[in-house]
Amino acid sequence: MTSNIIKFILNDKIQEIHNPDPNETILNYIRLRLKKTGTKEGCAEGGCGACTIVIGELKKNNIIYKAINSCIAFTPSLEGKQLLVVEDLISENGSLHPVQSAMVNYHGSQCGFCTPGFVMSLFSMYKNNNSYNEKTIEESLSGNLCRCTGYRPIIDAAKSLNNSKSDQFKKNKRKTISLLKKIRPKSISIKNQNKKYFAPKTINELKKIIRKYPNLDFLSGGTDMSLIVTKQKKDLDNIVYLNSINELNYIKENYKYIEVGATTPLRQFELFIKKYYSDFNIILKRYGSVQIRNVATMAGNIATASPIGDSLPLLLSLDASIVIESFNKKTILPLKNFFIGYRKTKLKKGQFISSIRIPILKKNIFKAYKISKRIDDDISSVCASFNLAIVNKKIKSIKIAYGGMAAIPKRAIYCEKVLLNSNFSENIILKAQKSLEKDFQPINDMRASKDYRMEIAKNLLIKCFSEIKQNKLIRLNY
């Protein structure tokens, strides 16, 4: 059964939107239709956090609260969820939520414009953790920019939450869960003027839709796609939303590889991957912000094929494969054969990535580094990843990949050749450094000059080998 009515929970009631415009952002819905103007628009591209809201999702009889950027999420994605905006935090009797009180008590609100976003990020942190240390606080606020004064009073407010009482949402939890169960998300099919929007719930339904409409654009977390609407001011006329398909939200493992379903949010994956490849986790912690990673997917990162997509060099060095499906076919393709030009891939219309397979290499050394202008919430200038096995001081296998060094994320084949079967020595590393000039001819752009990129690429190779030699991490921030 499909429906064109979006149902979600707002202020303990089921709210309906009939046949919404599929390109309407949740931010515009909140401000222009609900007339709740606490949530602000800053950048309209997911980068400042002023528009942060919290979404409640039902998971195994519990509610998971996720901070997201409402400026880059479309209204139909609210289907089956709870919507929480800053006005909703005040209790019925008018008292402030513990997070709001903490911001008042510690003078955390300065300009005021960014404050609702900070409050909502802290609210999501408050709901998802039992205690709040500096690391948890910094991570929770990594997607919220304060450019007027500074973060100290906000961080102090966050720390004070360690002593706060429970809130009205905890008391109301059972009622909210029963409401969420009542609305049971449906498959959505919207035709609004010339725009089509589908949100199937199963792979089977998805395949039927793409068979009928092979020209639809896939939308997952929307952290790249939505910018077509909010920044390029264009319409997305034909959307098939994937993130309602729970069958594609999984992480499985066998003795050979980890398989990550296409709609698994990066935030879920980053926690899992730590036990296999801790540097993968470290890179993902610096990938956008919590708001971005709560919805963004690795499949979206791969399909976007940006030369500076952060997961891509890591996956290339690990020799990952992707599972590609259409309505009647399934193929497995090594990622190294997927990128064919600047933002061009082998994906054809009607084909989607259903999962990513990452080999488990327990005996190998895996390292990855991201160089960006800012530590948090910034995209790479250069990203490098190394996967190698050393046996009796000899490099027995090696795969190296870089982002930001070419039109596509790419393996450093010449460099690998120099190193393979060589003794692990300083001389060979110096030779391998030089060979990077054969692998890459980087470009100048606003993020970095070509000379800087090459220098960084060479230095990261040295860094990797120094870390291995000294058997310790040589890093300022991790």
CA distance 118 to 364: 41
- Minimum distance, C-beta of residue 295 to ligand FES, in the bound complex (Å): 12
Distances (CA, A) of 163 to 166, 168, 169, 279, 387: 10, 16, 17, 34, 44
436 is written with which tokens?
Answer: 């990077």
Q: Is residue 224 involved in binding ligand FAD (CB under 6 A)?
A: yes
22 is written with which tokens?
Answer: 């599929």
**Of positions 22, 42, 46, 409, contacts ligand FAD by CB under 6 A:** 46
- Minimum distance, C-beta of residue 105 to ligand FES, in the bound complex (Å): 16
CA distance 291 to 281: 16
Place of tokens 């600047």: 342
CB neighbours of residue 449 within 10 Å: 13
165 is written with which tokens?
Answer: 């009482």
- Minimum distance, C-beta of residue 70 to ligand FAD, in the bound complex (Å): 13
User: Which residue pairs, CB below 8 angstroms and at least 24 apart, start in 439-442?
Assistant: 439/402, 439/405, 439/410, 439/412, 439/413, 439/414, 439/415, 440/402, 440/405, 440/406, 440/410, 440/412, 441/406, 442/404, 442/405, 442/406
Q: Is residue 6 involved in binding ligand FAD (CB under 6 A)?
A: no
Q: Judged by CB, which is closer to ligand FAD: 9, or 55?
A: 55
395 makes contact, choosing from ligand FAD, ligand FES, none, with CB < 5 to 8 Å by partner type, with: none
- Minimum distance, C-beta of residue 341 to ligand FAD, in the bound complex (Å): 15
Q: Which residues in the 229-248 window bind ligand FAD by CB under 6 A?
A: 242
Q: Which helix (H) or strand (E) holds 79?
A: none
71 makes contact, choosing from ligand FAD, ligand FES, none, with CB < 5 to 8 Å by partner type, with: ligand FES
**Of positions 140, 160, 281, 297, contacts ligand FAD by CB under 6 A:** 297
Residue of 55, 342, 73 lying closest to 223 (CA atoms):
73
Q: Which residue is nearest to ligand FAD (CB)?
A: 300
178 is written with which tokens?
Answer: 């029963």
Contact mark string toward ligand FAD, 364..403, x via CB under 6 A: ---------------x------------------------
Region near ligand FAD per CB under 6 A, out of 57-65, 212-220, 424-432, 436-444: 212-220
Q: Is residue 412 involved in binding ligand FAD (CB under 6 A)?
A: no
Contact mark string toward ligand FAD, 302..341, x via CB under 6 A: -xx----xx-------------------------------
CA distance 17 to 15: 7
413 makes contact, choosing from ligand FES, ligand FAD, none, with CB < 5 to 8 Å by partner type, with: none
End-to-end CA distance of the chain: 48
Q: Judged by CB, which is closer to ligand FAD: 97, or 411?
A: 411
Q: Is residue 299 involved in binding ligand FAD (CB under 6 A)?
A: yes
N residues, the chain = 478
129 makes contact, choosing from ligand FES, ligand FAD, none, with CB < 5 to 8 Å by partner type, with: none
Q: Catalog residues that contact ligand FAD under the rule CB under 6 A.
A: 45-47, 72, 217-225, 242, 262, 287-288, 292, 296-297, 299-301, 303-304, 309-310, 347, 352-353, 379
